[in-house]
Structure 1
Amino acid sequence: MWRLQWLFGWLHFVLAVPSIYLLLGLPLVMREHGWSGTEIGLFQLTGLPAVFKFLLAVPVQRYRSAQGHYRLWALGLCLLLALLLVLASQQAITANRLLLFGLAFAAGVLATWADIPVNALAIRLLPQTQRLRAGGIRSAALFLAAIVGAGVMLLVQQHWGWQAPFLLMAAGLLLALPFLGWLQEADVNALKPQAIKPARVDWAGFFRQPGARLWIWLLLSGFPFLGAAWLYLKPLMLDQGMPVQQVAWVAGVGGGVVGALASVLGARLVQRLGPARVTPWFMVGALLALLALTGAVWLQASTSWLVAAAYLLAAAMGAVSSLMFGLMMFFSRRHHQANDYGLQASLFVLTRLLVPIGAGALLDRSGPAGMLAGLCLATLGVCVLAMAARRSIDQATEGAFIPVERVDQASGKRSSPIRSTQ
């Protein structure tokens, strides 16, 4: 199972780095070359495809192949993204700006699209006992991608020029393709070619799952308030008098490392205790992290308190995001993995984009402490919702925490790390 986990973790990493570089790293290069604030702001629209994952999931779920349904989709889309990154490397920052926007938008579409079959493949191949660990690894990969995409790639660009980041990102994708090609989808390959028919989209069936409605509300609200606080953390640190370089190290590098570690350790804790029991405690931890940050800003506390609060917030983000990603896998039905994952991912991204807008308005109206207090109040409501959703989560994950060794002993067989165990 670890071979699969590492492969999917690497795929999440190499798919996330291009989007983060284009959205968070490249604007600095654009500004150096005379792009206006409006042009840089409009360039952020290249991240819009993430909202429409539920539509991109339809062809992935509908059109099947006897040689490996999700595997072939993932291979094709990752290859196209790598080729597009190579094409972008042949342009220049001084090239036609509309052309650069078009290439970046196409890269955003392909990265978002490829994420769907990759996650659907993970849901299909990983047994239930491994899904929460997969959520932790995915969350850790995204934190590390943020460090690389918004930091390391800028250094690469400064030292080796415009082409280097794009070629490195393309190489990372191409490196994963042979390993992805060796995977086998047992339940698809078991079907005869004439039995492979287009699958019907059944979003209504997703909401008819036991506990799905409460889960959707938790999915919509569990992460965005933490994400909004993290988005405004750097400006808040600057307002508190912290030097720019220190802010970059604390919030950029240190926060990413803490978030990645919390993702892995949080997933391990959930595996030991079960998600139904841990979910409310993770939300309480998120509330405590926000309260610590609110206190540090309101009291204009020392730098060490502010740094400690920032790391608490990063740890809460890592633990909560790993839990959310893991539970998304449990609420994806068999034979509908792509559609169900795409729908949940769209809802997750939608609130993650909308909440910071409201938080920004609250910041302008009530100041930093008022904004953080509002986020704390909203997170308190999430804690109550998490308590109410425990039974729904327990229903979705029932039977998922039997040790693999016990299952193997009972069956007298040793499960393969490559073929599906479902």
Structure 2
Amino acid sequence: MRSLTVRQLAFGWLHFALALPSIYLLLGMPLVLREQGWSGTQIGLLQLAGLPAVLKLLMAFPVERCRPAGGGYRAWAGLLGVLLCLALLGLAYDLPLTQPLRFVAWVLLISLLATWADVPVNALAIRCLPAGERLRAGSIRSAALFLAAVVGGGLLLVLHQRAGGTAPFVLMALLLAVGGIILCVLETPGQGEGGPTGGASTHDLPLGSTGIGGFFLQPSAAIWVALLMLLFPFVGAGWVYLKPLLLDLGMPAEQVAWWVGVGGGTAGALASLAGQRLAQGLGIGRALPLYAGLGALALACLGLVSHMAAGQTLWLVGAGLLACAMGALSGLVFGLMMHFARPGYRALDYGLQASLFTLSRLAMPILAGVLLDGLGYAGMFMVLALGMVAVGALTLPTAGRLESALSRVLPPKPAA
């Protein structure tokens, strides 16, 4: 048990260190860019710098089939991590905030390397952790990402304000170097890291057939793909524009960083851990509609207070609800993604799911940016809320079927 806990925490740190650059650039920097005069549409288009995440499936093929320096997933993660450190240091000493095309080029490079490194790290985690630990791993990963949001969307913005634009990138490179040391000393099971026969478990979902096509032959795979692409984008888009909204309302940049970046990220991390335990008690069939409803409520609240031009307290209530919805949904989604990664195809199946997830997540902020420029904040949040209501309605007839398909691998519900 101690060994499993150490592995969970080690992978949690790796997720944190890899996610931090992208979170800072795509979720934290919009606050700085708004100060530089970037429009809502420009900030929305910046999210296209996360486009490499859509290509995780393509990145997974060499990770699954090639073994640099005789290694496997670990070697790939180390190589890509070194390149990511160098890119972060390069941007630290350039930082062209007033040159959008040049800035986006740097962000694209960093996003590509961080995204590619994420594939072998997650494949290694799926291989190292038994099926009974995967929902827990999903909640820890989600909490790590929200910790990255606390640092990248809050503390690094404060560091930017006080120490200049170079300091956050140097710090991120150092944190990534610590992750590289953890990766080198991490003990992993002795079975092969890849290949169709490596590390199969009787608790995993059946293979069905080899290759990518076998993923869609798993029970309820079609339902899972639909929910994977629809559960998160609406709340995620609302979060992207929350900091620029508060800045436009006259809240000081550092105060936005503390309240939304640090406070909201902490609330999301706690909701990730609590939401996972609640889902085990309620069951997937009840938890998914509940979490989708929470997301719709949070977006509607933000739309309403935007229309009313309400006070600061109500804005923070809406932001807290949105953070909790994001945490609960993401923790559950990440855990289920691990269950749908077949033995021997961990990198490929993870890459496929991550590509589908990212495709929808990146498309929504662009639409939301156009809505913001055309309808204002109130209209944008209300449209996003209606979209989340539709997703919640979709979960009602489908989440129970998904739970039934996963009943062989999900931990049993706690006794009443």
**Shared fold by TM > 0.5?**
yes
Tell me the equivalent position of 2:182. Answer: 179
Aligned to 1:292: 301
The residue type paired with residue 395 of structure 1 is: A
Offset of residue 258 of structure 1: 1.0
**2:280–2:412 Cα contact (<8 Å) kept:** no
Contact 1:259 1:314 in 2 (8 A): yes
- Partner of 2:50, secondary structure, is helix
1:338 aligns to what?
347
2:264 maps to 1:255 = yes
Aligned mates of 2:298, 2:38 — CA distance in 1: 36
Aligned to 1:322: 331
Partner residue, 1:266: 275
Instruction: Quote the Cα distance in structure 1 between the aligned partners of 2:378 and 2:97.
Output: 43
Q: Distance between the aligned counterparts of 2:97 and 2:236, measured in 1?
A: 34
CA distance in structure 1 between the aligned counterparts of 2:98 and 2:257, rounded to whole angstroms: 31
2:390 alignment counterpart: 381
Q: Deviations over 1:224-267 (max 9, x none)?
A: 11112222333444566656554443322221111111112112
AA of the residue aligned to 2:218: Q
* Shift in CA distance, 111/369, structure 1 to aligned 2, threshold 3 Å: same
Q: How many residues align?
A: 395
Query: 1: distance between equivalents of 2:407 and 2:151?
Result: 34
Q: Judge conservation of contact 1:62–1:201 (CA < 8 Å) in 2.
A: no
Distance 1:251 1:96 in 2: 25
1:234 aligns with 2:237: no
1:188 to 177, 189, 192: 192
Q: Single out whichever of 48-57 and 144-153 deviates more from structure 2.
A: 144-153
1:143 is matched with 146
Higher alpha-carbon deviation: 154-163 or 366-375: 154-163
Alignment partners' CA distance in 2, 1:317 and 1:109: 24
Partner of 2:56: 53
Residues 19-47 of structure 1: CA deviation (Å, up to 9, x unaligned): 23344556777899x89879998876543
Distance (whole Å) between structure 1 residues aligned to residue 347 and residue 297 of structure 2: 35
Task: Give the superposition deviation at 1:125.
Answer: 1.3
C-alpha deviation, 1:289, in angstroms:
2.2
Report the Cα distance in structure 2 between the residues aligned to 1:319 and 1:93, rounded to whole angstroms: 35
Structure 2: where are the runs of 5+ without partners?
A: 196-208
Code of the aligned partner of 2:191: D
User: TM-score with structure 2 length normalisation?
Assistant: 0.82
After superposition, the Cα gap between the structure-2 partners of 1:189 and 1:327, relative to the gap in structure 1 and judged at 3 Å, is closer
Q: For residues 107-118 of structure 1, what are the structure 2 equivalents within 5 Å?
A: 107-118=110-121
1:167 maps onto 2:170 in alignment: yes
Distance 1:99 1:236 in 2: 26
SS in 2 for 1:186: coil
How far apart in 1 are the matches of 2:324 and 2:365? Answer: 19
Residue 13 of structure 1 aligns to a residue whose secondary structure is helix
Shift of 1:5: 1.3
Label 1:249 to 1:26 Cα distance change in 2 as closer, same or farther (>3 A): closer
Q: Which residue of 2 aligns with 1:417?
A: none
- Report Cα offsets for 1:160-189 as digits up to 9, x if no partner: 556543332222122222332333243307
State how far apart, in whole Å, the 2-side matches of 1:30 and 1:239 are: 12
Q: CA RMSD in A?
A: 3.6
Shift of 1:212: 0.7
Once residues 238 and 159 of structure 1 are traced to their aligned partners in structure 2, the CA distance between those partners, rounded to angstroms, is 18
Distance 1:244 1:179 in 2: 35
Conserved 8 A contact 1:66-1:188? no
Matched, 1:223 2:232: yes
Query: In 2 relative to 1, CA 345–296 (structure 1 residues): closer, same or farther, beyond 3 Å?
Result: same
Q: CA deviation at 1:320?
A: 0.7
- Could you tell me how far 1:394 is from its partner in structure 2? 3.0
Find the counterpart in structure 2 of residue 121 from structure 1: 124
What CA distance in whole angstroms lies between the structure 2 residues aligned with 1:375 and 1:298?
15
CA contact (8 A) 1:57 1:339 kept: yes
Q: Residue 399 of structure 1 aligns to a residue in which SS?
A: coil
Q: Which amino acid aligns with 2:20?
A: V
Residues 136 and 325, structure 1, Cα contact 8 Å, conserved in 2 = yes
8 Å CA contact 1:226, 1:317 repeated in 2: yes
Shift of 1:348: 1.2
Amino acid at match of 1:292: C
Q: 3-state DSSP class of the match of 2:344?
A: coil
Q: Which of structures 1 and 2 has the bigger CA Rg?
A: 1
2-side partners of 1:373 and 1:298: how far apart? 10
